[in-house]
Amino acid sequence: MRRCIENWRKTNISRLNTWSFMLALYREFASEVRQQILPVKKALTLFEIDYVSSKPHILIESNQEGMPDFDKKQKSQNKIGKTGEELVFDYEKQKLNGLKYNPKDYFNTDISKHYDILSYNLDGSEIHIEVKTKVRFNNVLDFYMTEYEYDRLIRDHNYAIYYVTDINSDPKLFILNLNKMRGDNAEIKLVPTTYRIEHIVKIKD
């Protein structure tokens, strides 16, 4: 398919380079494709991953005026995130099937917990699961964390990040090694992307 599209570009708009053509296709179609979350018929499959590098990977969706369409992007991300949370919840229920422990879906019932799912290891110890979801896997761990989530990562030794990808085809689950994100010598670098302004002011007389 990629070769067919590239051959069409060369035949019909050869003056437009590959990068510009790809960017035009992305702006025209990518947001619609990402929002079409298909019904998932397959359960999650757990995979292990090798941590190669911390190369940044940034993708920004823009509207026609060239500014990020944050509202549209947020609605799409909420839908994607909910799909991932439900997949993980079903995975944990299956894992604990037949035991006396049952996971709890805090993403539906109690957002004050600040993590998505309470589950258990087979020995009964708790797992505080934060679910991060991406539509397609492209060999890049790519997600955002809030300051509170990062604080839990550092302080809560029951904390776990479940990374879900390929939710429209064959859903994959990666349970991240959080030790690679902790400490001064962390292999996975966290890059701050937002700032909070806090300053005492008063109205002028």
**What radius of gyration do the chain's Cα atoms show?**
21
Instruction: Tell me whether residue 46 is in a domain.
Output: yes
Q: Decide: pTM greater than 0.85.
A: no
pLDDT at position 60: 42
pLDDT at position 19: 73
* Residues of the domain holding 150: 40-66+80-181
Residue pLDDT, tens place only, 50-82: 776 655 444 444 445 555 555 666 677 788 889
Domain count, the chain: 1
From residue 103, alpha-carbon distances to 47, 56, 93, 158 in Å are 21, 34, 6, 14
Q: Is the pLDDT of residue 111 over 60?
A: yes
Could you tell me where the DSSP H helices lie in 39-181? Answer: 70-95, 106-109, 147-155
Q: What is the DSSP letter of 163?
A: E
Instruction: Tell me whether residue 136 is in a domain.
Output: yes
pLDDT at position 33: 53
Looking at every residue in the chain, the average pLDDT score rounds to 80
Instruction: Tell me whether residue 102 is in a domain.
Output: yes
Instruction: Tell me whether residue 4 is in a domain.
Output: no
Instruction: Tell me whether residue 150 is in a domain.
Output: yes
